[in-house]
Structure 1
Amino acid sequence: MPLTPSSVRLQSAAVSDTGTHRSVNQDAAFTAPWGGAVADGVGGGPAGDLASAAFVHRLAAGRVGTVDPETLVVSVRAANWDLRAHVERDPSLSGMATTFTGVFVSERDTVLLAHTGDSRAYLLRDGVLTQQTRDDSYVQALVDRGLVREQDAASHPRRNLITASLSGGERDRVVVAEHEARTGDRWVLCSDGLSDYVPHEDIAGAVAHRSAPEAAAGAVALALEAGTRDNVTVVVCDVERGAPESFSAHPDASFYGAAAARFTEGFESA
């Protein structure tokens, strides 16, 4: 991906915690001046930590530039194919899959939001936190049909059943939406270890009026205090503007969770 000068950059931080009820962290995340993402290995399937880590590394390692929507879709497809390659090398991994939610600086000085699964993206703008993604889940479908109340969704016994993910399949899809990049905006990405256990208003309180590192750590702490039974990962990306050369001063991605534990050598850029 060639570097394209941009006046928009992201000042980001992330925290990922295995939690007290899990022995393996199946969440993976990355942050960089040009993007940030969280991926959550699908529970119940094999090697969820491998799926999330492999996808995040393939998507992020070596990337240093802005994207347009079409290029982002191609990059996601390439990372998804890498999951299929793992399965082809080791058939015991068949069925491994991951969610994915990420924000990326576009070459048009906007923010691209990419999403599949039930990891979430929130936008904090002018002090108001709004959810920007729709959960690809069985329970969300019930909510959409009026069969389950929104306030009951988080406690529904089948809340972890998702209807879309990335598994290396030809029909896997990611929704990409373009958003205005407004200075002072804060994007908050999280796995369902946070959103399933902490109410919206409490998440809003945790991520407002703090630095990005403090916000990420505070949100994760809330999930742990709430007794989350899952891994929990929070990525906080603040939209800033500056000279184009400052965008490329430190382009490399930082990795968290399963992505920090696996593939520390990274992958070559596609």
Structure 2
Amino acid sequence: MPYITVTALSHPGLLRDHNEDSLVAGPWTLCGTVTENPQTLVFPLGTPLVVAVADGIGGQPAGEVASALTVRQLAAVGPGLGSEQAVREALDVCNRAVYAAAGRDPELSTMGTTVAGAVVLRESLVVFNVGDSRVLSVTEEGLHRMSVDDSPPLAPGHRTTSLVTQALGGTRTYNEITPHVTTAPLTPLNRYLVCTDGLTDPVPESELDDLLRAHDTGRAAFELWKTAIEAGGPDNITLALIGIGD
């Protein structure tokens, strides 16, 4: 029987005093926790399986609350995410839930989070994101970015920016979102990397590609994390590697 493997890891990095990232894989969530050792989960291929990361917006209150709320909502509705429209509606619900929670508590008033992930279907993959967390396909030809960063133009000489032009929540008054949602064929020979910018900011995609060519499953996740740490670990690092087996 064909199956899906999800190898996940989440870590605060070296400079943050706590982890504002969260992760969902099917019904399983990690919210603001630390897993230096990659965890691998196995699911049957068939029922829609959502795998996503959410990165609480730094410099604003309670990013970990917003990211945890988002992944728990996605976990609850994951088996029903069988189409692009269902994913868009689920992200809209997440956005409204973040604003509603912020409206109930002044200390949470501007909390927000990015989100990026994929819903694995029997023959296709529905990829989605709001913000600058990423989804990449790992192919024989190299890495291919499947998500679309919601970021302003980069300043001359800069490879990254911490600014985002769209998020779930993050403002005092409600803003609608326009999620990036696309469908791609599910290719068993490929792997898929879902990650926060704590990985992609310090580690260029060319280096990610080299690591993923050299390693698989748990070792690959560990090497990705270690490389981000060796590059200074400036932010929370959360990642999930999706593979298809038979």
TM bucket (normalised to shorter chain) is 0.7 to 0.9
Check conservation: 2:117, 2:134, Cα contact below 8 A. no
C-alpha distance after superposition, 1:96-150 (max 9, x if no partner): 110110000246x210000111111111112511222232112xx24xxxx636x
Taking structure 1 as reference, are residues 237 and 194 closer, same or farther at Cα in structure 2, changes over 3 Å only?
Answer: same
Residue matched to 1:248: none
Q: Secondary structure at the match of 1:184?
A: coil
Q: Secondary structure at the match of 2:57?
A: coil
Q: Distance in 1 between matches of 2:148 and 2:69?
A: 24
Residue matched to 1:28: 22
Check conservation: 2:53, 2:238, Cα contact below 8 A. yes
Residue matched to 2:46: none
Q: Secondary structure at the match of 1:44?
A: coil
Q: Does 1:74 align with 2:82?
A: no
Aligned partner of 1:208: which letter?
R
Q: Secondary structure at the match of 1:104?
A: strand
Match of residue 237, structure 2, among 232, 236, 242: 232
Match of residue 153, structure 1, among 139, 159, 168: 159
Residue matched to 1:250: none
Residue matched to 1:95: 110
The more displaced of 36-45 and 126-135 is 126-135
Aligned partner of 1:18: which letter?
P
Q: Secondary structure at the match of 1:98?
A: strand
Match of residue 185, structure 1, among 182, 190, 213: 190
Q: Secondary structure at the match of 2:206?
A: helix
Aligned partner of 1:236: which letter?
L
Q: Distance in 2 between matches of 1:38 and 1:230?
A: 14
Residue matched to 2:56: 41
Q: Secondary structure at the match of 2:169?
A: coil
Check conservation: 2:50, 2:78, Cα contact below 8 A. no
Match of residue 220, structure 1, among 225, 231, 241: 225
Taking structure 1 as reference, are residues 14 and 171 closer, same or farther at Cα in structure 2, changes over 3 Å only?
Answer: same
Normalising by structure 2, we get a TM-score of: 0.83
Residue matched to 2:4: 10
Taking structure 1 as reference, are residues 30 and 213 closer, same or farther at Cα in structure 2, changes over 3 Å only?
Answer: farther
Check conservation: 2:25, 2:51, Cα contact below 8 A. yes
C-alpha distance after superposition, 1:235-260 (max 9, x if no partner): 111134x5xxxxxxxxxxxxxxxxxx
Aligned partner of 1:114: which letter?
F
Check conservation: 2:66, 2:112, Cα contact below 8 A. yes
Q: Distance in 1 between matches of 2:19 and 2:76?
A: 20
Q: Distance in 1 between matches of 2:164 and 2:51?
A: 22
Aligned partner of 2:159: which letter?
A
Q: Secondary structure at the match of 1:113?
A: strand
Residue matched to 1:121: 135
Q: Distance in 2 between matches of 1:209 and 1:191?
A: 21
Q: Distance in 1 between matches of 2:55 and 2:214?
A: 27
Check conservation: 2:53, 2:194, Cα contact below 8 A. yes
Q: Secondary structure at the match of 1:88?
A: helix
Residue 216 of structure 1 deviates from its aligned partner by 1.5
Residue matched to 1:204: 209
| Unaligned residue ranges in structure 1 (runs of 5+) | 1-6, 243-270
Q: Distance in 1 between matches of 2:214 and 2:207?
A: 13
Check conservation: 2:132, 2:151, Cα contact below 8 A. yes
Aligned partner of 1:161: which letter?
L
Identity %: 30
Check conservation: 1:55, 1:79, Cα contact below 8 A. yes
- Following superposition of structure 1 onto structure 2, how do residues 41-60 of structure 1 map, counting pairs within 5 Å? 41-60=56-75
Q: Distance in 1 between matches of 2:110 and 2:229?
A: 29
Check conservation: 1:68, 1:106, Cα contact below 8 A. no
Residue matched to 1:265: none
C-alpha distance after superposition, 1:4-39 (max 9, x if no partner): xxx875311110111121111011112234121111
C-alpha distance after superposition, 1:155-183 (max 9, x if no partner): xxxx1011111118341221100011011
Q: Secondary structure at the match of 1:22?
A: coil
Residue matched to 2:29: none
Taking structure 1 as reference, are residues 8 and 164 closer, same or farther at Cα in structure 2, changes over 3 Å only?
Answer: farther
